[in-house]
Amino acid sequence: MQKNINVVQELLKKTNEAKKSLPPLRILITGKTGVGKSTLINAVFGEELASTGVGKPVTSHLRRYSTKNNLVLFDTKGLELVGSTLEETDKEISDFLREAQIQGEPIHMIWYCINSMGHRVEETELKLMTSLSKQVPLLCLLTQSIAGKGGELKRVIEAYNLPIAGVLEVLAEDYTLGKTTFPAWGLAELIAFCYSLLPKGVDLTFLQAQTDIDLKVKEARRYVKGYVATTFGVGFTPIPFADATLLVPTQLGMLAHLTMLFGVDMDENMLLALLTALGGTTGATHLGRGIVSQVLKMVPGAGTLMGGLISGTTAALVTTSLGYSYIAVLANYTKAQREGQKLEPKALVDMLKSQLKKNTKALSKDKSFDAGPEKPPLLKRLGHVIKRK
Ligand SMILES: Nc1nc2c(ncn2[C@@H]2O[C@H](COP(=O)(O)OP(=O)(O)OP(=O)(O)O)[C@@H](O)[C@H]2O)c(=O)[nH]1
Ligand SMILES: [Mg+2]
């Protein structure tokens, strides 16, 4: 294995590779003018898309917005959808959907927005939703839903039994009416629904592009569990302590994937501070030893290294603890960034350290991790030891 690689560069490179491997996700957002499409997009995908004045015109009513997160949004503008314009609109959007499919750049989902304040749904809209949903899964979103307005409309629309994926209410931004402010709601449900509806692959693109941090945390932790299970395998083969450095490429791969899932650009200095805190140096060899020995100290009963081996279960525990702790750091980093705050590297380093302690302690109690030393006979087990390259 190459020694003294610059792990920060390596992590950044792996994160970029993970980002690039995400398939493009294309969502079309439509509905009458002023229903709140742009407001909803901003709430679900973050402030960066707030400058909705721009965007590339695709057809006379369609605009395309590409984001750096492999998400492509198509937003219609100024649709009136009354009388004869329905047929034109239907044709315009249907032709576009078909063409996109032929070009090998299919639209994965349509959000059809209706303003809850309008109290009712027009015949033309029912027709349009039915027509479009024949081509692409369509979600009917009842926007600006305050004081139960969307609920009534939801029942009305559901009663039509349209061939659509679902009807959901949402209030994308707090709404003030006189002295009363109605807090935004329904976003997490909408996000969870889309996430479950999207096909494998593009669901990850959606996960990293959307703004619900709790969902990212939940899915990232699930990813760590799966990653550790496949990396260390059933029975968790023992690893010589000296080869703990071999864990580094594995762990870096995991950290890169997690960074990608959060859809944030981690500052190079921030990563340097975090990795330095873990390993005490930027060299990969030391980093691997650093991570393992630091975390090992916190694992009860793991201090006795039989024949210089750390058990596979311990290696798995260390890696899981590292993953969970890094997720907590990413979550806080992302939250702070969204609120326009800047966290100092030291704050994140402290957070990482206290999280490592907390998670290692909790995982050590987890029965699925048998953190103690492997049972003899040692020689037999040595046959399964990972070979040093
Ligand atoms: N408070 C609040 N206001 C909203 C919400 N959704 C839309 N609005 C308001 O409704 C108006 C229209 O919203 P837009 O998001 O621009 O509507 P649009 O569907 O993109 O309109 P077009 O681009 O013209 O088709 C704006 O003034 C928004 O502030 C919401 O969830 N909460
Ligand atoms: Mg708009």
The per-residue pLDDT for range 33-77, each reduced to its tens digit, is: 889 998 999 999 986 664 545 567 777 778 888 887 899 999 887
3-state percent breakdown (helix, strand, coil) of the chain, nearest 5: 55, 15, 35
How are beta strands 138-143 and 166-169 bridged, if at all? Answer: parallel
Calculate the CA dihedral of residues 176, 182, 183, 187 and round it to 10 degrees: -110
Query: What's the token pair of residue 33?
Result: 């003018």
Pairwise pLDDT comparison (185 vs 236), residue with the higher score? 185
Residues 262 and 143: their CA atoms lie apart, in Å, by: 26
> How far, in Å, from the CA of 36 to the mean position of ligand 2?
7
Mean pLDDT of 324-336: 94
CB of 144 shorter than 6 A to ligand 1: yes
Identity of the highest mean pLDDT range in 156-165, 303-312, 366-375:
156-165
Nearest CA to ligand 1 atom 6: 36
CB of 63 shorter than 6 A to ligand 1: no
CB of 282 shorter than 6 A to ligand 1: no
Is the pLDDT assigned to residue 9 strictly greater than 90?
no
Q: How many other CB atoms are found less than 10 A from the CB of residue 383?
A: 7
Task: Tell me if the pTM is above 0.85.
Answer: yes
Asked if residues 324 and 251 have their Cβ atoms less than 8 Å apart, the reply is: no
CB of 36 shorter than 6 A to ligand 1: yes
User: Can you tell me which atom of ligand 1 is nearest the CA of 42?
Assistant: 15
Q: Where in the chain is the domain with CATH 3.40.50.300?
A: 24-200
Mean pLDDT of 269-291: 73
In the numeric block, the tokens 């004045």 are attached to 53
Query: What's the token pair of residue 374?
Result: 């492997």
Residues 372 and 219: their CA atoms lie apart, in Å, by: 28
User: Can you tell me which atom of ligand 1 is nearest the CA of 76?
Assistant: 25
CB of 145 shorter than 6 A to ligand 1: no
CB of 171 shorter than 6 A to ligand 1: yes
In the numeric block, the tokens 């907590």 are attached to 328
Mean pLDDT of 313-321: 83
Whether domain 24-200 has CATH 3.40.50.2300? no
Asked if residues 216 and 184 have their Cβ atoms less than 8 Å apart, the reply is: no
